[in-house]
Amino acid sequence: MLKINKNLVVDENQQPIAVQIPIAEFQQIEEILENFGLNKLMTETEDEERLSEDEAWSYYQSLKNQHVES
């Protein structure tokens, strides 16, 4: 299990408003989420065809690029 070292950022009323985590841990979380998403793309398509790893990665990148552009 991934251990996350986090620091809470609080407002003047001591209410949590944000969390800081080391960039290396953020990158690990991001990679885990991307791998999960790629696995879903490879196994759950609308027409029940499985995508290859390359097809899933290409499709994922196109979705990621669309999100960045919008």
Residue reference for tokens 């793309």: 41
| pLDDT tens figures, 5-59 | 999 999 999 999 999 999 999 999 999 998 888 888 777 766 666 677 788 778 7
C-beta of residue 36 within 8 angstroms of C-beta of residue 14 = no
For residue 16, what pLDDT is reported? Answer: 96
Query: How far is Cα 42 from Cα 44, in angstroms, rounded to an integer?
Result: 6
SS3 of 11-65: CCCCCEEEEECCHHHHHHHHHHHHHHHHHHHHHCCCCCCCCCHHHHHHHHHHHHH
